[in-house]
Structure 1
């Protein structure tokens, strides 16, 4: 079976967030998929196959090196990029653990994904979080999956050197750290740490922008339909364009295939 490595949320190789994309003809053993993801060692490996029913075109599942997850933006973008390049017509509907996700591509090659928004509800400060991050947190919230920590400025986000072991004690899939952007043309910046699911720091996190978009729409007073640009400040870096539409958020970006080959990984079917 074919497997690719795609750099997502970037227009050049060796930037953005790399994801594995494995094309299956039928359902595969979850333990086998987990083993492939552990072998790939990317923050996410996606497994896509034709769907069994008419609600979606393809079934899509995502695995970190340690566990299956409910939602992943960059691996969804990477999968759509591969399918579109193989001639699948846009839009495409993915059946996932987070419902049906529709993905399209415009005439300029920008891929847009219709995702559920996951607004963070303001909470009391998380014990030990500021100490683990090594930075003062001015606002704390929780979404369905993650903790959102807003800090004072972009340079604080950029210079973070957190205690990753201490972050594993935070009861959440991951920790999103964010601040308003300094650079014109960018609205907000972020970084994302998820050591509890085997990802000490994720280069560019689409699903985190399902939390970031509603937060910054509120914080910046942006109405529905107003596009905002987020920049994730990992060492690889990446750009995610976001637009709120009620309880949905459109995430948009580009992707580049860097590896395309054949997977010889034992029996996929259990």
Structure 2
């Protein structure tokens, strides 16, 4: 029997049972892709990250991400969750002040923020943001999302944006209208599949007196999850869009607080920094996390002997 350590980590929150729960599996070298998919389905969270050895000399670990039904190229909240676990529970802050993750989209650096020895946040630098046009009638997307056509904010363009995955960005007039959205998930899944989009991300700027700058919701029925509470990849792509579309001044640094998850009873907060770069804006997404569950997954012996488990390298006791 193979024993694999698994965790649930609530990301983008300081409160247990808030934010977005991610699965984290350490020492995943012994798992085949098929087994990773089955484990992700068994954990039944929106995304699960699998951490194992990398052959890339510039990285510390290799990571793959799975929803219950699909592998995806990148997941922000699972990256925050696994990095928080390494820093706060497994002692990696005593070894390094940052790590580099080898993902399907390339290298993703992650650094710890600390107050003395206490980890206060982890911050990932996402890959270069991209934005493309997306042509759809407002009446059609409004009908699919279950909002009024007048709820779509005409000041900002509907686009798809990417810092690892493609997200359809829909500007909405206010938080109330976002909360009232009731998507037709079957139609939305079909739309996203046709256009090779992972999620549909609703966003709005909030009044100055609000404690956060933007408010969002994220839907991903094409990946087997109707709604995700707090999304690092989608909000990173949104931040890149805001600068690339000159909604925010691309020549200066921006710090954004983005709230999400309220309608699901799992409110969370992301802290995004957008810095001007030589070739593209630099998107850094930070947040806290809470480890809520840890345990052992018992798997049948593998028929493959290509890899050995990494448990000892993570200093995990069995």
TM-score, scaled relative to structure 2: 0.80
Q: Which moved more, 1:250-259 or 1:16-25?
A: 16-25
Segment of structure 1 superposing worse, 233-242 or 222-231: 222-231
Structure with more of its chain in helix, by fraction:
2
The corresponding residue for 1:87 is 91
Unaligned runs of 5+ in 1: none
**Correspondence for 1:210 among 212, 217, 236:** 236
Query: Which segment drifts farther, 9-18 or 47-56?
Result: 47-56
- Alignment partners' CA distance in 1, 2:252 and 2:106: 22
Please say if 1:174 is aligned against 2:199.
yes
Corresponding residue for 2:6?
Answer: 3
**Corresponding residue number in structure 2 for 1:226:** 254
The separation in 2 between residues aligned to 1:132 and 1:198, in whole angstroms, is: 17
Are 1:240 and 2:266 counterparts? no
Q: Which moved more, 1:71-80 or 1:239-248?
A: 239-248
Q: Does 1:121 align with 2:132?
A: yes
The alpha-carbon deviation at position 255 of structure 1 amounts to 0.3
Distance 1:119 1:210, change over 3 A: farther
Q: Secondary structure at the match of 2:298?
A: coil
1:65 offset after TM fit, Å? 0.3
Range that drifts further, 46-55 or 118-127: 118-127
Q: Which has the larger radius of gyration?
A: 2
DSSP-derived class of the 1:107 partner: strand
Aligned mates of 1:224, 1:169 — CA distance in 2: 38
Residue 152 of structure 1: SS of its match in structure 2?
A: coil
Any conservation in 1 of the 2:133–2:158 contact (CA below 8 Å)? yes
Are the equivalent residues in 2 in contact too, given 1:13–1:256 (CA < 8 A)? yes
Looking at structure 1, the residues matched to 38 and 133 of structure 2 have their Cα atoms a distance apart, in angstroms, of: 37
State how far apart, in whole Å, the 1-side matches of 2:53 and 2:202 are.
36
Q: Which moved more, 1:77-86 or 1:220-229?
A: 220-229
Displacement, 1:259?
Answer: 0.3
How many residues were matched structurally? 270
Distance 1:117 1:16 in 2: 25
Question: Which of structure 1's runs of 4+ aligned residues deviate more than 6 A?
Answer: none
Aligned to 1:141: 159
In structure 2, relative to structure 1, the CA distance for the partners of 1:119 and 1:25 (3 Å cut) is closer
Question: Structure 1 residue 9: deviation in Å?
Answer: 0.3
Structure 1 window deviating more from structure 2 (220-229 vs 21-30): it is 220-229
- The one of 18, 40, 65 aligned to 1:62: 65
Q: Which of 138, 152, 156 is the matching residue for 2:177?
A: 156
Is the contact made by 1:46 and 1:60 (CA closer than 8 Å) also made in structure 2?
Answer: yes
SS in structure 2 at match of 1:216: helix
Query: How far 1:120 moved relative to its partner?
Result: 3.0
TM-score of the two chains, using structure 1 as the length reference? 0.93
Deviation at 1:242, TM superposition (A): 0.6
User: Structure 1 CA distance, aligned partners of 2:65 and 2:105?
Assistant: 11
Q: What value does the CA root-mean-square deviation take over the aligned residues?
A: 1.9
Shift of 1:202: 0.4
Cα distance in 2 between the residues matched to 1:232 and 1:42: 17
Q: 40, 45, 67: which one pairs with 1:42?
A: 45
Distance 1:29 1:267 in 2: 12
How far the C-alpha of 1:118 sits from its partner, in A, is: 2.8
1:51/1:175 Cα in 2 relative to 1: closer, same or farther (>3 Å)? same
Is the 1:91–1:102 Cα contact (8 Å) retained in structure 2?
yes
